Structure 1
Amino acid sequence: MTAKTWDVWLPFPAAEVEGLPDSFRYRLWDGEDDFPADPADCVFYVAPYMKAPAVTLRPLAAMSAVQVVQTLTAGIDDLVGEPGGLGALRPGVRLCNAVGVHTASTAELALTLVLASLRGIPGMVRGQDREEWSSGFYDALADKSVLVVGYGAIGSAVEDRLEPFECGPVARVARSARTAPRGRVHALADLPELLPRADVVILTVPLTECTRGLAGAEFLSRMKDGALLVNVARGPVVDTKSLLAEVESGRLRAALDVTDPEPLPAGHPLWHARNVLITPHVGGSSSAFEPRAKRMVARQLARFAAGQPVEHTVLITE
C-alpha cells in the first residue's frame, strides 16, 4: 500500500516556482469560486494575495488535515479574528506570515511618500495638468529628523534607505526597548518624548490591539508644527478623525498608503484634505513581490517536507 500524497494549495502555478519538493501534489487556487480539489487533502495552504478575507478563509473550515497556513502578507490582521476563519481549524495549525517578501517594496514606497510630500510633487503634478509653472523653495529630506515607529524588518529597511539622503537624527521605536546595530531602539512608551523632536514620523507597525488608534489625538498633538506623518502600516493605526483635524488646520502633513476606512470611499474628506498625499495600499504590490513570494514559499515547503520547523510562525491554533 503506497503512502498518501497530500495536497499543497498555491495561488500561482507550481511550474513557476523553482525548488518545490516533489513529495506533494500541487493545486492551483487563487480564490476562484470552485476549489481545485477536496480541501480535506490539503496539508499546506498558501493563501491568495490581495483577496478579501472571506475569500481567503473560505476553504479553511474543510481543511481538516492542514498543518500550515502561509500568508503572502506581512500583517495577519485580515485573518485573525474573522468569523469562520482560523477558529475553525484544529489545534496545532501554524499561521506563518511573509516576512521579507514586502520589505524592500514597502520601504521604497515609504521613502517615495516622504520625498514626494516634502518636495511638493502632488501640487506640481496638478500644476502640470493646468499648465502652471510654480517654482519656489520646498522642504528637503536632508537635515530632517526622522522617527520610525515600528522597527521590524520594514522599519529597519526604511532606515537603510534614509541613510544616503543625509537626514538628521533617526529615532527608532518598537514594542519594547532594545539595542539594534544602528543604535538604541526605544519602547512605545517613549513616544511622548520623541514625537516633538521629529520632522518626519513613519509608521511601519503591525496592526494589533496595542497599535490600533496609536496615532490618535494625543499622538498627533505632540508632533511638531509642520511635521509629516507617513503611514505604510495599516489604516486603523491612525485615527482618521483626529488626523483630519490636524491636516485641515494646516498644522500637520500626511502621506498615506493605507487609510481607515479602506478602500477610501468617494466623497470622503481625506481625498481632498489639505497637505495629504494618498496612494491606494500599494506598498507591497510591486514587481518585487512575486519573485520574493515564490522563493519564500519554496523555502517553507522544503523545510516542511524535510520535517523541519517552518519559519515566520506568528500564531499556532489552540
Structure 2
Amino acid sequence: MSSLLVSLPDSVLREAVGELPQGVEVVEWALDGPAPRPRFDIVVTPYMGKTDRLAHLAGVDARLVQCQSIGYDGVDRVLPAGHVFANAASVHETSTAELTLALILASQRGIPDFVRAADAGEWAPAHHPSLADRTVLLLGYGGVGQAIESRLLAFETTLIRVARTARSDERGDIYGFESLPELLPQADIVVVGVPLTAETTNLIDDAFLTQMRDGSLLVNIARGAVADTDALLAHATRGRIRLALDVTDPEPLPAGHPLFALPNVLISPHVGGASSAMLPRMARLVREQVERMLRDEPPLNVVLTS
C-alpha cells in the first residue's frame, strides 16, 4: 500500500479523524509558519478566517489542499500556483440549514420580542405571521440551498428557486438571476445562499430590496458582502423589511452598529456551520480523501486548480 503524508491543523481534528490506514503519517501544521515538510499529499487548512495562511504553501509540494469551509471566496488570490483546492461540501449543509430555519422561525413567530419581554419580566402575547403558507424565495441552489429546501417543504411553504443559471429538475423550474425583478415581489421570505463572487458582491442592493414586499423577511446565510449594508440598514430602519443575518459586512459587526439596535433585525455571529455536526463530518471527509488517494481515485469537492 502506498504511503501518504497528511497535515492537520490541530489536535482536535486529529483526534476526531482517528486511526487511518497503515502507511499514512499525520503531522500537525496550522499553516501559521513555514511548512514542517517540503511535500504533503493532503494539507487540511484551519477553519474560518485564516485564508491568508495559504501563502505558506508557496514552495510546498502538496497534492491536495483541503479546506474546512464550503465557501472559498478570496482563496484564488492567495493560493500559490500549482495547488489543487477542495472545499468542505457535505460538512456544513445540514447545520447551516438548521440555523436558517431557526432564524426564519424566530423572525416569523416573534421570538426576539418574547425574549426581550421576558427579560423585562413581562407577559406579552402577540400575533405573528406563520411560516406555513408563506412563499419563500431561495436565492442560491447549491448544497446548502437544497438542504434548506427539503426542510422548508415540511413547513407547507411555496418555494421559488433561483440560481445563477436557469434550469429545471424533478421539482420544476429553477430560475436564473435575470428573473429576480419579477420574482422578488412574490416572496414573503427571501433566503440568500449564493457564493461570494464578483457577480454576487452587493447583489442585495437598494434596487433588490425595493422589489421585495413590504414586511417581508430577508435571510442572509451566504457572505456579508453579498449585501450592501447601507441599503440593508436604510430599509430596515424604515421598517419596510425585516432582516435575519448570520453574516454581515464588515464582520464581525462593530460594537454599537445601528443594525444591532433595530427590533426587526435578528443577527447571529456567522455560526451556520458551528455545531456538533461539524467535527465528525469534517473528520469523515478527511478520511474519505485519504482513502481515495490511497486508491488512486480523484479527490472530492475540487473547486480550484491554481
TM, length-normalised to structure 1: 0.90
SS where residue 48 of structure 1 aligns?
Answer: coil
Q: Where do 5+ consecutive residues of structure 2 fail to align?
A: none
Query: Does the CA-based 8 Å contact 2:2-2:23 persist in structure 1?
Result: no
Query: Bigger CA drift: 298-307 or 147-156?
Result: 298-307
* 2:63 matched residue in structure 1: 67
Map 1:1-318 onto structure 2 (within 5 A).
Answer: 7-13=5-11, 14-18=14-18, 20-30=20-30, 33=32, 38-54=36-52, 56-63=53-60, 65-81=61-77, 85-86=78-79, 88-90=80-82, 93-167=83-157, 169-317=158-306
TM, length-normalised to structure 2: 0.94
Write the distance in 1 (CA, Å) between the matches of 2:280 and 2:127.
40
Please give the per-residue CA displacement for 1:7-40, whole angstroms capped at 9, x wherever unaligned: 2111344453256333332012345x566x6241
Shift of 1:126: 1.1
Query: Does the CA-based 8 Å contact 2:16-2:280 persist in structure 1?
Result: no
SS where residue 201 of structure 2 aligns?
Answer: coil
SS where residue 229 of structure 1 aligns?
Answer: strand
Q: Alignment identity in percent?
A: 46
SS where residue 246 of structure 1 aligns?
Answer: helix
Query: Does the CA-based 8 Å contact 1:18-1:295 persist in structure 2?
Result: no
Please give the per-residue CA displacement for 1:204-243, whole angstroms capped at 9, x wherever unaligned: 1111111111111111110011000000010001110011
Shift of 1:104: 0.3
Q: Using a 3 Å threshold, how does the CA distance of structure 1 residues 268 and 89 change in structure 2: closer, same or farther?
A: same
Write the distance in 1 (CA, Å) between the matches of 2:168 and 2:9.
38
Q: Where do 5+ consecutive residues of structure 1 fail to align?
A: none
Write the distance in 2 (CA, Å) between the matches of 1:276 and 1:243.
10
SS where residue 158 of structure 1 aligns?
Answer: helix
Query: Bigger CA drift: 68-77 or 181-190?
Result: 181-190
Please give the per-residue CA displacement for 1:245-303, whole angstroms capped at 9, x wherever unaligned: 10000000000000000011112111113410000000001001011101011111111
Q: Using a 3 Å threshold, how does the CA distance of structure 1 residues 45 and 145 change in structure 2: closer, same or farther?
A: same
Please tell me the root mean square deviation across aligned C-alpha atoms, in Å: 1.9
Query: Does the CA-based 8 Å contact 2:117-2:124 persist in structure 1?
Result: yes
Q: How many residues align?
A: 304
Write the distance in 2 (CA, Å) between the matches of 1:106 and 1:19.
28
